[in-house]
Structure 1
Amino acid sequence: MKINWIAAYNKLFEIINRSNEPTYYSGPEFLRMAQQVDKGVPSYEIFIQLRNQSGKSTSRNAFYWDVINSFREEQRCELFRLFIDALEPHAKSDADEIRAMVFGGGYAVPIANIPRNIWSSEKLNKSLKNIDMAIDSQQFNRAVTLAYTCLEGLYKAYIREHIPEKSNVSELLPLSKLVKDDISRKLRKTGAFPEQIVNSIPTITNAVANSRNGFSESHFDKDANKWLAIFARDLINSIGRLLLHFLPR
């Protein structure tokens, strides 16, 4: 199944074209929203000038669609999520309708397939976006599972880099303890450090692991709640940023 982007856009434009309402988006406002997804989107003045030079329509309906159509699917999902968040306080039922069209049914959520070897800030950001998309589509179990997978990948990457003799370890909790102990050893060589923060790595990992095991995707239900999925996502972000200080850039 594929997202019907034309239908989703038609619904979006219907909402953001309502004059004298808080959901209205002018041309400059729309482009500023698009620039949050792609810094290469020009300002309104430059954009209109380029369209005039190319003989393209400068109507809002036409150029809004052309911007969306130029994006990759991942970018379109991100842009629609930004609009949903902005429109929801003013038109909740409409925002829910767009959410169902773009994120409903689960087909907008990528399969969890996160390489284990090379991690970077960019890779972590992409993984966090995948978790966000799962949360948007109300697949909270999947969001927790993706968080678990991110931790596993980060720990294995760290161990391959710093403790290669332990690369055979595969269970998440032992992995977290190995990482915690190695980071502690490294930091002790530089002087005093807040040990409680590093010592919290296995505790946080245990919480994520237990949540994932308790709300496994194999249950095919929605036991995990949104608050849990968001909490797990934020924990992964915190641990990921810490580990990236010790991984090659």
Structure 2
Amino acid sequence: MPSHPLPPSNGGDRSWRAVLLLIAAAMVVLTLGGLVTGSILAARSWGSYTDIPATQSFGRPDRLAVTSDLGDVTVRTSTDVDEVTLRLYDSSPGASTTADGTARARVTTAHGADGTTIDVSQPGSIGLGPWDDATDSLELTVPADLAATMDLTVGADVGDLAVTGSYGALAVHDSTGDVQLPGVATTGSLQVSSDIGDVRVLLDEGAAPQRIEVTADTGDVHVSVPGDTPYLVDASADLGEVRVDPGLSLPGAAPLTARSDIGDVTVTR
């Protein structure tokens, strides 16, 4: 009888399918394991915090430093408050921004020769338990008359940071997040920086800071100054484009430094 060729073996295909299935199964197990571990850690973190008043007042310090480890931070001035007021609220979509009642957090306050410091810490969350409803945004309101002479320092670890108002001196730093100063003024120095995130500073009309320094390690930097006030501009970028409006820089004027290691730098009127 004539010989017939045997069909090609599909053993190799079966082996590859088995390997791919094993890889997929391992990834699922690792993902679930990571989620469970994260949930356990988040639950422990949640349990180490207590419910505190969502709105608190801190008097009228001449020098104030506020730091937050988690969540967006907004700082503003107002004529409607007599004391520095801090409120915590849920910033998730659809949530009420009213900070009535309590919030899960830890607020540590210290008073010293350098002024008042307020440190706000909140439990982390990964969305697998009741701790996912943790308050995660902070609003700081400073009396307008006090802010005009106050030295204010604001720091955020994770979250966007926004500041408006007029201050005696202002220093702002964000480790991970965008920094927006859509309308600020100082009579002293203005320092704004971000490790990872864009920085945008718009000076109010009449602002006359003695020194401006705006920097980002990774992110774009944009500084807008009002009117025809000149500045001695030092703008640079290691990796990015630099643009300074013609006629803005003048020797002998107040120094303005704008820098990004990785990102574009723009200084305009």
TM-score bin, normalised by smaller chain: under 0.3
Q: Which has the higher contact order (CA 8 A, sep 6+)?
A: 1
More strand by share: 2
| TM-score, L = length of structure 2 | 0.25
More helix by share: 1
